[in-house]
Amino acid sequence: MKKIEAAEKFLTAHLDLFKCPICQQPFADLADRSMVCPNNHRFDLSKKGTLYFLTKKFSGEYDGAMLQARRQILQAGLFDKIIETVAKQLPNQSQTILDIGCGEGTPLNKLIQLRNSRDAGVGFDISKPGIELANNQEQPSFFCVADLAALPFNADSFDIIFDLFSPSAYKEFERVLKPTGKLIKVVPNSNYLMELRHLLYPSDSQNSSYSNQKVVDLFAQHYPNYQRIDLEYQFAIPAGQQANLLLMTPLHWGQGQREVSATELASLKSITVAVTLLIQTATN
Ligand SMILES: [Zn+2]
């Protein structure tokens, strides 16, 4: 099946998840591969089977090289144990899953495949190149370009919100999550990719270490009865993937990076992945 046909099939089955980002009305119809709201605002499916929901321009796109690097190392399994741990938190029956800031889409797709493709997965990101790459996978989930602060989804639509290393908009999350739903936010903790961090920053640099305390505190403020799972493992870096690791990560780590030689980089054989899962369910 062509990507656009697969996307059309998904939208026909799950039209009720989406609302018009201009007038906030639920979409009433999918006609000629356009989503149409009761006020006749139209959003056309792209040839590649994605939807573009932004109503204003945003700057600061990820560049293609960074997205490709991320694609390669995630396909190689960097986050597989995180995804397995998330999968264990999900009920057996089919779920509607929203991936917040899905980037190039590998984690959501792996999660859905791990669960034998019985879920309806929707990933969104503000990056159009990210979404185009996300949709360029075997049997992709549904991917769209959208704004975290104004989600184009109806209230009480999703069973699961999955937020892997993306910013949060708790008010919007609470709106689109079903009352019985579950929010799973994954944040890096201080040991995350520490071998790379130590290569990049001198030990007296403020960026040589990282704490997720502020993010965890904010989550705890919103959800005092949250559950927490700490996960740490070593990932054996496949030969030649070190450069991808370097390309995909440190943008958000901040100033003061030193040049890393090819020899130093090649000496990096394994890397620590250390994260905290913050989980809010209706019952806790
Ligand atoms: Zn509208």
| Position 53 pLDDT exceeds 70 | yes
pLDDT at position 260 is: 85
Q: What angle do CA 160, 166, 171 make, to 5 degrees?
A: 60
What's the rounded Cα separation, in Å, for the pair 151 and 48?
21
Predicted local confidence at residue 208, as pLDDT: 80
- Is 50-190+210-233+276-281 CATH 3.40.50.150? yes
The mean-pLDDT minimum among 91-105, 144-158, 208-222 falls in 208-222
Q: How far is the CA of 21 from the centre of ligand 1 (A)?
A: 7
| Distance in Å, CA 178 to ligand 1 centroid | 23
% of the chain exceeding 90 in pLDDT: 78
pLDDT at res. 63: 81
Is the pLDDT at 149 greater than 80? The verdict is yes
Q: What pLDDT, in 10s, does the model give residues 257-278?
A: 888 888 998 999 999 999 999 9
Q: Provide the mean pLDDT of the chain.
A: 93
For residue 129, how far is its CA from the centre of ligand 1 (angstroms)? 25
Sequence spans of domains, the chain: 1-49, 50-190+210-233+276-281
pTM over 0.85: yes
26 C-alpha to center of ligand 1: Å?
8
Q: In Å, how far are 175, 182, 186, 211, 279 from 145, measured between CA atoms?
A: 19, 23, 21, 30, 25
Over residues 102-115, the pLDDT tens digits come to 999 999 999 999 99
Asked if the model's pLDDT at residue 251 lies above 80, the reply is: no
**Mean pLDDT throughout 198-210?**
84
Residue 206 has a pLDDT of: 79
What is the CA(57)–ligand 1 centre distance, in A? 18
Q: How far is the CA of 98 from the centre of ligand 1 (A)?
A: 22
pLDDT band with cut points at 50, 70 and 90 for residue 229: very high
